Amino acid sequence: MKRIFTRISVLAAFCLLTINVALAQNITVKGKVIDGGDKTPLPGVSILIKGTQSGTQTDVNGNYSISAPANATLVFNFVGYTAAEQAVNNQTTINVSLASSTQQLEQVVVVGYGTQRKIDVTGSVGNVKGEDISKQPSVNPVSALQGKVAGVSITNVGTPGASPKITIRGTGTIYGNTGVLYVVDGVWYDDINFLNPADIANISILKDASSQSIYGIRAANGVVLVTTNKGKRGDAVINYNGTVGFQKVTNQVEMANASEYATAVNEAYSLLNPPVAPLFANTNLGEGTNWYDVILRDALVTNHQLSVSGGTEKSTYNLSLGYLDQDGIVKNNNYKRYTARLSNDFQIFDPLKVGYNVTATSSKSKDAPSGIFRALYAASPVVPVFNADGSYGDPNAFNLGNGSNMNPQATLDFFNQNTTKYKVTGNVYAELKFLKNFTFKTSFGGDFGQEEVRGYVGVYKASNTQQNTNSKLDIDRVENRNWIIENTLTYDKKWADHSLTVLLGQTAQRNKLYAINADALNVPYTSEGDLYLALGNAASRSIVDRGELSTFASYFARVNYGYKNKYLINASVRRDGASQFFGSNNLWGNFPSIGAGWVISNEDFMKDQKIFSNLKLRGSWGKVGNAGVPFNPSTETVDQTPSLVAIFGGIPYTGASVRMLVPPTLFWERSAGTDIGLEMGFLNNRLTVEADYYNRKTEQAIFDIPIFKNLGTVNGRLIANQADIRNRGFEFLATWADKTTGGFNYSISGNVGINNNKVMNVTSGDNPIYSGGAGLTSGYLSTRTVNNRPIGEFFGYQVIGVFQTDAEAAAWPGFKKGDFKYADINNDGVIDLKDRVVLGNPNPKFTYGLNTNFAYKNFDLTLDIQGVADVDVFNANLSNRFGNENYTKDFFDHRWTGPGTSNTYASANLAGGLNNAPSSFYVEKGDYIRLRNIQLGYSLPTAIVNKWKMQRLRVFLNAQNAVNIFGYKGFSPEVGGVPTSAGIDTNVYPLFATYNFGVNVTF
């Protein structure tokens, strides 16, 4: 990897040295900017030297002063006005009059394989500028999108280096890849964790099938288009962005202390049948050990990015370097990431332009144990971290040696796992304009990536339940080799009242994966660098490798037509072939779409009205596909199973079990969607409103269901086109942007998404698919997916009270005093599986965000609020009881301790009977509202920074997730998971707030 970075650095230096940068003597230019209509001064107008990021802004009286080259061009920008350019030409005074405009309508929006004016877009496209992403101190660019686009839900994982999960307009896929498609400068990816947020110029989110269908094969779960920063003509501009801060756990769950724990355990033992003598003779044990305080910490995080950009009339360049160092909130956990990005564009001659961009990323993390948060939740507070003699506190010393009571400090100390990742990605392109209206573009891109997880367990003994007698080294390595070639031909012509754009394209892709999993016992430990499989026991060594190869071929076309800027038509079709379906009769799929728009405000009958400055109605329909299924899903597979033995001729042979059954024909999973939108502008577009209704249905969704053993399988599954999934909803976006004569600029934007999810036309009829058992007490399943209901609903018993006496419980076999009282749904006098009911929905109905920006003179303030509503969470942390796990303080304070004490909380004997079975007690509201980001910045006056040979210097304070309001009794209601088991909290990374100090410097 060092060799890669060296080559990039040499190439960057060569490009910088060979670019002819014109330098000129600076002069001071002064002037005044006024409104072209009422001639009033315009405070807060942005003034930049063209081709650079150097600039200033007007004061409360519209006056400005700037140091600029004598041959420079000044660019004047202000919200609601048409941008103006003025050549300096050695002038020292330049006054400017700005004309009011419908700026937002002329805004250029990135769409599939091109750009369009926002007024011309007929689909539903969300847009977020790079400056709004880089302003947040998020280490992943996807996280910075949270709350900014209607209908887009983002679930943050929290683990350093992990990628957030993005869901667009509800869950429509159950099996395989449920994530969105990311397209970065024309190259396709499953995630963009390799990107530095500061390198992003723009993100467009394609939300409806019409805008997505041009990416047919992979667009079923949405498409996110990312455009990275490019160089601009002008002098070399050097930018540095840096932050330093810390992350702190918020909303920490309070657990019972040692005295409370001992009291509750003794109560639980007394309620066993037959009762067991108290475990603790003395319950007056004080506070004991707070394991969260022992293992968690305030974590330092630093982030630095340095970029150099500029260019001439013939070439531009952009070079950036990034470094992130993030400690996890678990001690010893750390993540480091290095990024380097270089892009060059060359205008060889007027019709021909070529360019390339390359990004290299290297990261290394010292991992935390995967189950550490569950261990902290369950750990007994009566166990000390260390004994007086320095040995580890042992749960067995307190007769607590069950599987859940470990010493978390010992778990952390003897855990040794590191993850290393390398990725090099990019593309090269050539664009040729010919015959006036034609443009041909060809590009080749791809990525090479490698990820290695190296884990080592040495020989140790912390206690009788925490020890290892044979050291073991595990190595998991995955390599990716992906490439994509795309060729497009565009015809673009405007004449009279007409505009026409025709796009023809062809794509070829290949994705190759190779993985190897190896382990060996008795590997001696000397240092991390000396851990090799060859040092271990050869007889115990195990190596397993696997590979996957998928190829795609695609052809697509799109036509955009506009008449008089009033009537808009957009139609596209894509034909894709995917090797995943090789052997089936459905190797190819067709994905058409059509959209139409009517700009009503441009009609003659609207000329004299004073209400709307813009009024546009649009509608679209389209189909997209999902090729993100496992390799060869139409191939039946078997596994050799040692538990199955066949005897032939007196000789036993290992039997085989069918692992996956498939039907004779497996169809493409397609998503068909309709979108109707209304866009409105008022008061010269200071107020803009967008409203959308959508109806999206995934047709013939592919997923697997369990099958009976008499079909020749042990734990086998049947994969097929099992059902349709419908997501239907509304989206609203309203933005107010204005300024005052006193120099105060502000914008306020709010969005709301409403979604209803439903599974339809299930092939198994009303037979439900049960899931949600991972991590739960053995034998329990907590979710159900069934016809005409949402995916993965919580399913279990309805609590109607608590049995107060044994006499009251006597009528119900298996129950006793202090146990939950469940509703007998079928009135048969017995509580069994037939009495389970729907308990909640993990699919949020409402998502919303409020984003604001304020600027006054040299101060700026950003405040973002985000939340979800009408969603449920299953608190499996509380229900997973296998013995003497700790209790939350909330449960201890409200538990049943005798007749009349509680009719909502059971006794301390939660592990007894059906008390820890899935029930309404464990299902809680997951609604939350969060102060997602608040940032206060100050830019030093231009006169001061110029003296320091700078163009701009801005300092800021930032707080992320500082305020979180929710009723959920766990760490965070932001719980993800696979679609049929989403929202189950078994080991969620605690929510944390990030506090930063940052500096932006431009030279």
For range 365-393, the mean pLDDT? 93
Q: What is the pLDDT of residue 8?
A: 40
Cα 246 from Cα 45, distance rounded (Å)? 35
Cα 710 from Cα 92, distance rounded (Å)? 90
pLDDT for 765 beyond 70: no
Alpha helices, H only, 19-156: 103-106, 130-134
Q: In one letter, which amino acid is 15?
A: C
Q: What is the pLDDT of residue 600?
A: 95
Question: pLDDT confidence of 654, banded at 50, 70, 90?
Answer: low
Q: Of residues 461 and 101, which shows the higher confidence score?
A: 461
pLDDT in tens, 213-265: 999 888 989 999 999 999 888 888 899 999 999 999 999 999 999 999 999 99
pLDDT in tens, 594-640: 999 999 999 999 988 889 999 999 999 999 988 876 655 555 555 55
Kindly provide the b/e burial profile for residues 453-465, where b requires at least 16 CB atoms within 10 angstroms of the residue's own CB. Answer: bbbbbeeeebbeb
43 in Cβ contact with 35 (< 8 Å): no
**Type and span of the H or E element at 717:** strand 717-739
For range 945-956, the mean pLDDT? 86
Counting residues of the chain whose pLDDT is more than 90, the rounded percentage is: 59
SS3 606: helix
Question: Taking Cα atoms as reference points, which of 964, 908, 905, 978 lies closest to residue 933?
Answer: 964
Q: Of residues 619 and 772, which shows the higher confidence score?
A: 619
pTM: 0.86
Q: What is the pLDDT of residue 644?
A: 56
Q: Of residues 134 and 33, which shows the higher confidence score?
A: 33
Least confident of 109-123, 319-333, 796-810, 844-858: 109-123
pLDDT for 403 beyond 70: no
Q: What is the pLDDT of residue 5?
A: 42
Q: Give me the phi and psi of 703, to 5 degrees please.
A: -160, 170
Longest alpha-carbon distance in the chain: 104
903 in Cβ contact with 815 (< 8 Å): no
Q: What is the pLDDT of residue 801?
A: 96
First vs last C-alpha separation in the chain: 30
Q: In one letter, which amino acid is 725?
A: I
pLDDT for 965 beyond 60: yes
Joined tokens for residue 191: 């995630």
For range 855-869, the mean pLDDT? 93
Cα 44 from Cα 154, distance rounded (Å)? 34
For range 742-749, the mean pLDDT? 89
Least confident of 633-642, 692-701, 936-945: 633-642
Q: What is the pLDDT of residue 635?
A: 54
Question: What angle is formed at CA 371 by the lines to CA 366 and CA 376, rounded to 5 degrees?
Answer: 105
For range 913-939, the mean pLDDT? 94
Least confident of 128-142, 271-285, 416-430, 642-656: 642-656
Q: What is the pLDDT of residue 313?
A: 84
pLDDT in tens, 226-238: 999 998 888 888 9
pLDDT for 137 beyond 80: no
Alpha-carbon dihedral sign for residues 218, 221, 227, 228: negative
Q: In one letter, which amino acid is 176?
A: G
**Type and span of the H or E element at 943:** helix 942-947
Question: Taking Cα atoms as reference points, which of 684, 691, 688 lies closest to residue 618?
Answer: 691
Which residues, 6+ apart, have CB-to-CB distance to 807 below 8 Å?
Answer: none
Question: Taking Cα atoms as reference points, which of 505, 473, 476 lies closest to residue 490?
Answer: 505
Q: What is the pLDDT of residue 80?
A: 62
Question: Taking Cα atoms as reference points, which of 247, 178, 168, 245 lies closest to residue 209?
Answer: 168
Q: What is the pLDDT of residue 16?
A: 38
Q: Of residues 51 and 114, which shows the higher confidence score?
A: 114
**Mean pLDDT for all residues in the chain:** 87
For range 754-778, the mean pLDDT? 79
Cα 128 from Cα 817, distance rounded (Å)? 57
Q: Domains for the chain: give ranges and CATH numbers.
A: 2-98 (2.60.40.1120)
Question: pLDDT confidence of 131, banded at 50, 70, 90?
Answer: confident
Q: What is the pLDDT of residue 2?
A: 43
Residues linked to residue 421 through DSSP beta bridges, in sequence order: 363, 451
Computed over its alpha carbons, how large is the radius of gyration of the chain? Answer: 31
Least confident of 58-72, 471-485, 629-643: 629-643
- What letter does residue 668 receive in the DSSP assignment? P
CB-count exposure of residue 14 (10 Å: 0-12, 13-18, 19+): exposed
Region at 332 (left for phi over 0; alpha for psi -120 to 50; beta for the rest): left
pLDDT for 431 beyond 90: yes
Q: Of residues 631 and 993, which shows the higher confidence score?
A: 993
570 in Cβ contact with 122 (< 8 Å): yes
pLDDT for 82 beyond 80: no
HSE-up (13 A, CA, CB side) for residue 143: 25
SS3 179: coil
For range 348-357, the mean pLDDT? 93
Question: pLDDT confidence of 14, banded at 50, 70, 90?
Answer: very low
Question: What angle is formed at CA 614 by the lines to CA 610 and CA 616, rounded to 5 degrees?
Answer: 130
Cis peptide before 381 (omega within 30 of 0): no
Strands 114-117 and 108-111: antiparallel
Q: What is the pLDDT of residue 911?
A: 85
pLDDT in tens, 157-206: 878 888 888 999 999 888 777 889 999 999 999 989 889 898 999 999 99
